[in-house]
Structure 1
Amino acid sequence: MKTTINSVNGGTASVTFEHAGVTHTRDVNICTTAKGKYDTAATEARIAEIALGVEVKIATGAITNPPPVPEPTPAAE
């Protein structure tokens, strides 16, 4: 399972999970210190825990890649 933190905005991080050819992106709540500062280590641990669940969902088929968008057919003249 490969995880990538795309951005952190407010109280969430946009995270992409990649496993077995499936790519899934979702927001994850960030962790903060007692002083309200962004806690990198705790957030990374949280993302690792969520990745375990995402991996199971990919393995069972609950999370899949979206089907490809069909190309439009030209209108008949």
Structure 2
Amino acid sequence: MKITLGKFDPETRSVPATFKTGEIAHKRSINAVLKSDGSYDAAATRTRAEEVGRGVAAKISLGVIGNEPEPAAE
């Protein structure tokens, strides 16, 4: 699974993430990990994303998560 993280949003304390395996891409925000001084911890957030990714992979294998259907042409 390939995991791509976006820019930390200090207002929501989250990071947009894309989890991609094969042709399936799942996008969602994940909670960022903050250091004791309140600053963003990129390395710990990457580890958190990998933990979330294991759950996403399990849901993909069960068919719970798939690609969004294409919008109908007008």
The answer, yes or no, to whether TM exceeds 0.5 is yes
Partner residue, 1:7:
7
In the alignment, the residues of structure 2 paired with residue 3 and residue 27 of structure 1 have an alpha-carbon distance, to the nearest angstrom, of 12
% identical equivalent positions: 33
Secondary structure class of the residue paired with 2:66: coil
Match among 23, 32, 36 for residue 34 of structure 1: 36
TM-score, reference length from structure 2: 0.92
Q: Which runs of 4+ in 1 moved over 3 A?
A: none
Do the aligned partners of 2:8 and 2:40 also contact (CA within 8 Å) in 1? no
CA RMSD after TM alignment: 0.8
Residue 19 of structure 1: CA displacement? 0.8
Equivalent residue, structure 2, for 1:59: 61
Tell me if the contact between 2:2 and 2:20 (Cα under 8 Å) persists in the aligned partners: yes
Q: Which runs of 5 or more residues in structure 1 are unaligned?
A: 73-77
Shift of 1:6: 2.1
How far off is 1:20 after superposition? 2.5
Q: Kindly state the Cα deviation for residue 70 of structure 1 after the two structures are TM-superposed.
A: 1.4
Q: Which has the larger radius of gyration?
A: 1
8 Å Cα contact 2:32/2:45 also seen in 1: yes
